[in-house]
Structure 1
Amino acid sequence: MEENKSKTNNNPKLKNNIKIVNAIRDNLIKIKTSTNIDYDLDFNLLNKYIKDKELIGLGEATHGTKEFQNIRTSIISHLVEKIGFRTIVLEESYAYCLRINSYILDGEGTAEEAVSEGLCFPWVFKTQETVALVKWMREYNIKADENSRVRFYGMDIQGSEKTIEVIDFYIRKMNFENYNMIKVDLDFCNEKVNKTKYKSLKEKISKIEEYFRNNKNNFIKNSSKREYSEVYHCIEVYRGWIECARETTFNIRDKFMYENTKWIIENEKKYNEGKVIIIGHNDHISKGISTNMGEDRQLGYWLHNEYKEKYYNIGFEFSRGLFYSKDINSYELKVFEVDKTIKKDLAARLFEETGISMFYLDLNTSSNESLSLKNFITKTNRYNSIGAIYDDKADDWGIDDIILGEMYDAILYMKDSNNTSLLK
């Protein structure tokens, strides 16, 4: 069927929209909640959509919604315990997240310390909700055998200061006597680099890489294969960062997040079947291109291009409520409140009309059973997309024009959003 890029009119009183709402209601999987953190989702129904997938993308329409982070933990626990997923990748710094991986594998410190020290961004995932996930991973690993343990990584190349620190600390530990001759002399690159600096940094990181390769056997002997592999990959992460610092676009950042995630996927096959859960903003895990983002390709686009039907992604959506973000003008972290569903004619307007406050909807299967719903997900629609910065004075801020069927395999909808509980 040829796609229709005309925008939808989501007035629920329109005859065709009544059909769409009925089709959604007939095909959704209802989610119930008994407490703020326990969600009752019929995973037997969900399994038919995800049981044969190797990569699952879990999104979020805001970075600061409690319910999104909580229900992800419920889904992750099911994917790990029942379907054999063993690796979790977060939209966070690769180097920073090594701290969390150490905690869940080795029990170093506490979950609160691991989250506080193991995340780059000062608030996005530094929450009590993330602590609950990390605690669950640690408790699972205590009981699991060596090949069944969960591992945790960051996909992002940001956090260059930690990347440098990890490389530097490892070299110091491996060769303390000669450290002054080989110590890391890199730059955080917090600003865009010019051609001269770019060339210099590339030469420096190449020398460090050569040093690692020449001393691989000795380094592994004095640490471990896992530690050597994790630190060596920091070299590639830093190389990606200096490329990003030269071009500074979301497009190149997402391409390197993809390269990083691909390395993690392949590396994890040393330990298990390589089934990976990928957590990030809706925009990053999406397969297609939002019509108001130009030619930018996101992480999910590259994953889908590489892994085809093995990658299955779930976009999270809501209608109204509270969330954390940073004010675009003051850069102060605030709790914002939105209710744009009706005013801005978002797709969530029809989701809300179902009368079900929380549900899961597989778009592929559902659209095959309803021509009206198929037309709905192949037209340009409006969808919440609120990131780390928010402008409450701009009516259309945090709203993407997208074609749902091109972007996601499924939607997880929650009517209400409440802000996360920040870690103190």
Structure 2
Amino acid sequence: MFALKKSWFVTASIALSVFLAGCGTGEAVENVAQYTSTVETIDIPNDVKVIGFGEATHGNIEFHELKKDLFQALVENEDVRVFVLEGDFGGAQQINQFILTGNGTAEEAVNALDYKIYQTEQMIALVQWMHDYNRTVDENEQVYFYGNDMQRYDYSKIGLLDYYEKVNGDAAKGYVKQLEHVSNETMRELTNSQLQELDATMDTIISDLQLNSPVYRSSSSEESFALALQYAQIMKQRTQLFLNDSNYAHLRDQYLAENLQWIVDFEAARGHDKVLISAHNGHIEKTSASLAGYKAMGDYLEEIYGEAYFSIGTDFIDNTFQALNGSSGERKNYTLEHHNDLVDAFSGVEENVFYVDFEQASTSKELATILSTEQKMGNIGDDFRSWYKFAKMFYTIEMIPNEAYDGLIIVKEATPTTVIE
């Protein structure tokens, strides 16, 4: 018993020391407002093709609202026409159809993502704005919505089978049978043997699409064929994640990057050469700084696009956010105060939400030093426990800001979202 108590005391002492080591606050730097701007006036370099927007948490109103505010600014000022979300590819196509055709409602479209973190009034407002915007412009100026994630089956399966119904009815009947047990509801119940069989089925479908592409394209269109092939690739990726669970995080970010590249190429062929991708900070940043040890999507994107990838992170000071309460499945609000030299340097800025361009800020010697020094930057997922607040390693990633991002949006006081049940 004494040994157990001693072990607990040592563990608690280590946790407390880590907490205390990260609790210090930096100092406000004078006259830093000159290096800030509003989100509406963010200036993106002309040669940029992909703009990454990271959110420090999934559970804050301000970060959700920033998706709309930033995209609207980029549409109006930078000729961006494509919004990509770290969300289900197939489900996002339901949103895309809503904003293009107006069928259904924005709330119904958002629910197709099957991600609770996005079932908020703020996400509905973004989708409704895109729908309304498309009613006011010519077809060549319309905006489009995509997801680049692969963690669901249902809507990609529907899109794929609907396509086969149009181009090869006999094959469609066979694939309907082979895929009848595959769904979002059942996917975690599939045995390893069933997953291997499903993986082989997806290889067969992909091969069939590729071998018969001239016939299928002539029976449909270039775009619908490309989408069908991508639906199949998404289902293949989802299956591979299950079959390679120990390598899940690395594979997922690799797939996120591959799927984004597909979207960029697909839309570039239609004359849209600039894309905004919204995801968690840990996926957007360029340095793969997460202690989980996987290569981040942003790292891949910098390799692919070089300076044509522009990364904008976010951070906060006072934050009340919503997240899942561990394994309970219930959502609750948590509150914490977060400091590092970077956010504290700008703590004297009057606005609650503002943008810092790192190239401009680096003309200040004091800020240049901070930007090139490791900082514990805000990083909260959709799963949290109250005791995480006692050690910064559980809600931050240590990174060098000007290597990870090209700019940062700071929210001094962030408030919690409410998930629509």
TM-score w.r.t. length of structure 2: 0.85
Q: How far did 1:149 drift?
A: 1.6
- Which stretch of the first structure deviates more once superposed, 60-69 or 214-223? 214-223
Work out whether residues 59 and 285 of structure 1, in 8 Å CA contact, stay in contact via their aligned partners in 2. yes
Q: How far did 1:178 drift?
A: 6.0
Paired residue for 1:25?
A: 33
Q: How far did 1:229 drift?
A: 2.1
Whether 1:414 and 2:414 are equivalent positions in the alignment is: no
Code of the residue aligned with 1:376 in structure 2: it is I
Work out whether residues 88 and 151 of structure 1, in 8 Å CA contact, stay in contact via their aligned partners in 2. yes
Q: How far did 1:79 drift?
A: 1.1
Paired residue for 1:277?
A: 276
Q: How far did 1:325 drift?
A: 0.9
Work out whether residues 10 and 350 of structure 1, in 8 Å CA contact, stay in contact via their aligned partners in 2. no
Paired residue for 1:36?
A: none
Q: Give me the whole-angstrom Cα distance separating, in 2, the residues matched to 1:358 and 1:213.
A: 48
Q: Give me the whole-angstrom Cα distance separating, in 2, the residues matched to 1:90 and 1:142.
A: 22
Q: Percent identity?
A: 26
Code of the residue aligned with 2:144 in structure 1: it is R
Q: How far did 1:294 drift?
A: 4.8
> Which residue among 227, 233, 238 is the counterpart of 1:236?
233
Cα 1:376–1:216 change in 2 (3 A) is same
Work out whether residues 326 and 332 of structure 1, in 8 Å CA contact, stay in contact via their aligned partners in 2. yes
Cα 1:255–1:172 change in 2 (3 A) is same
Work out whether residues 10 and 349 of structure 1, in 8 Å CA contact, stay in contact via their aligned partners in 2. no
The secondary structure found in structure 1 opposite 2:83 is strand
- Which stretch of the first structure deviates more once superposed, 180-189 or 205-214? 180-189
Q: Give me the whole-angstrom Cα distance separating, in 2, the residues matched to 1:285 and 1:336.
A: 24
Q: Give me the whole-angstrom Cα distance separating, in 2, the residues matched to 1:23 and 1:285.
A: 29
The secondary structure found in structure 1 opposite 2:335 is strand
Work out whether residues 25 and 341 of structure 2, in 8 Å CA contact, stay in contact via their aligned partners in 1. no
- Which stretch of the first structure deviates more once superposed, 82-91 or 348-357? 348-357
- Which stretch of the first structure deviates more once superposed, 144-153 or 311-320? 144-153
Q: Give me the whole-angstrom Cα distance separating, in 2, the residues matched to 1:283 and 1:213.
A: 34
Q: Give me the whole-angstrom Cα distance separating, in 1, the residues matched to 2:171 and 2:40.
A: 59
Cα 1:11–1:67 change in 2 (3 A) is closer
Paired residue for 1:93?
A: 88
The secondary structure found in structure 1 opposite 2:258 is helix
Paired residue for 2:141?
A: 148
Code of the residue aligned with 1:325 in structure 2: it is A
Q: Give me the whole-angstrom Cα distance separating, in 1, the residues matched to 2:73 and 2:224.
A: 29
Q: How far did 1:269 drift?
A: 1.2
Structure 2 counterparts to residues 366-405 of structure 1, below 5 A = 366-367=361-362, 369-394=363-388, 395-396=390-391, 397-405=394-402
Cα 1:264–1:199 change in 2 (3 A) is same
Task: Structure 2: state its 5+ residue gaps.
Answer: 1-20
The secondary structure found in structure 2 opposite 1:324 is strand
Paired residue for 1:333?
A: 331
Structure 2 counterparts to residues 180-195 of structure 1, below 5 A = 180-183=173-176, 185-186=178-179, 187=182, 189-190=187-188, 194=192
Task: Structure 1: state its 5+ residue gaps.
Answer: 1-6, 32-40
Cα 1:244–1:346 change in 2 (3 A) is farther
The secondary structure found in structure 2 opposite 1:124 is helix
Code of the residue aligned with 1:402 in structure 2: it is M
Q: Give me the whole-angstrom Cα distance separating, in 2, the residues matched to 1:151 and 1:409.
A: 25
Instruction: Report the number of matched residues.
Output: 391
Q: Give me the whole-angstrom Cα distance separating, in 1, the residues matched to 2:341 and 2:149.
A: 30
Work out whether residues 64 and 324 of structure 1, in 8 Å CA contact, stay in contact via their aligned partners in 2. yes
Q: How far did 1:285 drift?
A: 0.8
Normalized per residue, the structure richer in helix is 2
The secondary structure found in structure 2 opposite 1:419 is coil
Q: How far did 1:179 drift?
A: 4.0
Taking only aligned residues, the RMSD between alpha carbons, in angstroms, comes to 2.6
Cα 1:22–1:9 change in 2 (3 A) is farther
Q: How far did 1:237 drift?
A: 1.3
Q: Give me the whole-angstrom Cα distance separating, in 1, the residues matched to 2:336 and 2:210.
A: 52
Once the two structures are superposed, residues 91-140 of structure 1 have per-residue CA deviations (whole angstroms, 9 ceiling, x without a partner) of 001011110011111222121221122x121x211111111111111122
Structure 2 counterparts to residues 350-365 of structure 1, below 5 A = 350-365=345-360
Once the two structures are superposed, residues 4-40 of structure 1 have per-residue CA deviations (whole angstroms, 9 ceiling, x without a partner) of xxx999644xxxx55xx236333122x4xxxxxxxxx
Whether 1:315 and 2:308 are equivalent positions in the alignment is: no
Work out whether residues 287 and 304 of structure 1, in 8 Å CA contact, stay in contact via their aligned partners in 2. yes
Work out whether residues 23 and 366 of structure 1, in 8 Å CA contact, stay in contact via their aligned partners in 2. no
- Which stretch of the first structure deviates more once superposed, 354-363 or 154-163? 354-363
Whether 1:56 and 2:64 are equivalent positions in the alignment is: no
The secondary structure found in structure 2 opposite 1:92 is strand
Cα 1:308–1:8 change in 2 (3 A) is farther
Cα 1:176–1:348 change in 2 (3 A) is same
Cα 1:338–1:9 change in 2 (3 A) is closer
Code of the residue aligned with 1:393 in structure 2: it is W
TM-score w.r.t. length of structure 1: 0.84
Q: Give me the whole-angstrom Cα distance separating, in 2, the residues matched to 1:245 and 1:393.
A: 30
Q: How far did 1:87 drift?
A: 0.8
Code of the residue aligned with 2:420 in structure 1: it is L
> Which residue among 123, 130, 134 is the counterpart of 2:127?
134
Structure 2 counterparts to residues 68-217 of structure 1, below 5 A = 68-117=63-112, 119-121=113-115, 123-176=116-169, 179-183=172-176, 185-186=178-179, 187=182, 189-190=187-188, 194=192, 199-216=196-213
Code of the residue aligned with 1:135 in structure 2: it is Q
Code of the residue aligned with 1:405 in structure 2: it is N
Code of the residue aligned with 1:231 in structure 2: it is A
